[in-house]
Amino acid sequence: MINVEKSDNGLWVVTLDRTDKANALTSVMLSELIAIMQDAHAARGLILTGRGKVFSAGADLEEAAKGLAVSPLWEELSAAVAALPCLSIAALNGTLAGGANGMALACDLRIAVPTAKFFYPVMKLGYMPQPSDVVRMKNLIGSSRAKMILAAGQKVLAEEALSWGLIDRIVAPDALLDTASELLQDSLAADPEIAKGIIQSCR
């Protein structure tokens, strides 16, 4: 359900592939993603994306009802993404919902297709959001807009997400991975220590 492609130039492409469930995440998938991100310290650049028309619907509903929605695995995953020494890009092939926001927020850059929607319905569902998700969201878009998503439960369309700074670029679906790869070219070609130093200084 998670595919990893590794290129000779150090580019890793991590793809969520559970299209029959809108790439909803199970505890097994979260644990696998954490392990992948820990291994990806060997990568020179990383793209996180999904297959199909939805990036991720968040927690698998059956497992959410059994406690996955408040599992520490979400924080472990976002921390593992944020700790990557290389440039990381969330290439959002569609809607991003719920706890899946965390790993995208932890990436250095976020690009999305025009039809993508962004929402995090914790107020409606009766859960607290992951603490680091709130911090990263506020840092990107400010307190009021974070409240629009987390407290008012608003779904934000791609154009508005771009104007807020929640995403960095809107890209046609057929150009999504190519654009992400292009954004990584300088980093992949640079001296690894220089690349790491520049990336770390910008975080």
Rounded CA-CA distance 56/92 in Å is 9
Against a cut of 0.75, is the pTM above it?
A: yes
Say if 177 falls within a structural domain: yes
Provide the residue range defining the domain that includes 116.
Answer: 2-198
Say if 171 falls within a structural domain: yes
**How much is the average pLDDT of 145-160?**
98
**How much is the average pLDDT of 176-201?**
97
Say if 77 falls within a structural domain: yes
Rounded CA-CA distance 31/191 in Å is 31
Q: 2-6 and 11-16: which strand pairing?
A: antiparallel
Query: Can you give the CATH number for the domain in which 82 is found?
Result: 3.90.226.10
Say if 203 falls within a structural domain: no
CA angle 71, 72, 78 (to 5 degrees): 115
Q: Is 92 exposed, middle or buried (0-12, 13-18, 19+ CB in 10 A)?
A: buried
CA contacts within 13 A on the Cβ side of 152:
11
Using pLDDT thresholds of 50, 70 and 90, give the confidence band for residue 117.
Answer: very high
The count of domains in the chain is 1
**How much is the average pLDDT of 75-84?**
98
